[in-house]
Amino acid sequence: LRDRVLVVCISTGDWLVGIYILIIAVVDVAMGNGICEEQFAWLTGRMCMVLGMVSTIGSQMSVFSMATLSLTRVVKVTGGLGVPKPVTRRGVIRLILIVGTVVIASVLPATIPVMVVLEDQFVNALYVPGVKFLKGLTSKKAFGFPLV
């Protein structure tokens, strides 16, 4: 049961990354040659932020699930390949805790940078060749002045 649930977690993570790639491809085709004009609005927009979260959650979930699955298999092999034990309530609770830990460890790295409380720690920046990084930018204003 544990292996099957962890394989479903891996599949969910891969599915999220697939959705991310599909949406990025659609946006790329839709913008076409206009990507240079729309790049700043796109990079500072909500859709880019959400897609960044989706890709991070998906990739982290796959990696953490595979690591957990590998560890459980190592424990199973080193413990002997005896008769499989029946599923108990304690085993189900342990499985829920394992999957919950994998999900939390996958979601935290994606959501911490977008928390309002930590807004000053993760600042968007724009790099212009020959100029230092310009910080304090949003899609509508730069240093308090509207973008034209």
CA distance 98 to 93: 9
pLDDT of residue 35: 65
pLDDT of residue 124: 52
pLDDT of residue 16: 92
- Is the torsion defined by CA of 136, 139, 144, 146 positive or negative? positive
With 0-12 / 13-18 / 19 or more C-beta atoms within 10 angstroms meaning exposed / middle / buried, residue 50 is middle
pLDDT of residue 143: 46
pLDDT of residue 38: 72
Number of C-beta neighbours around residue 55 at 10 A: 18
pLDDT of residue 130: 53
Compute mean pLDDT per 10 residues along the chain, 148 residues long, and list them.
85 92 86 70 79 90 90 78 75 87 88 72 54 49 46
pTM confidence score: 0.66
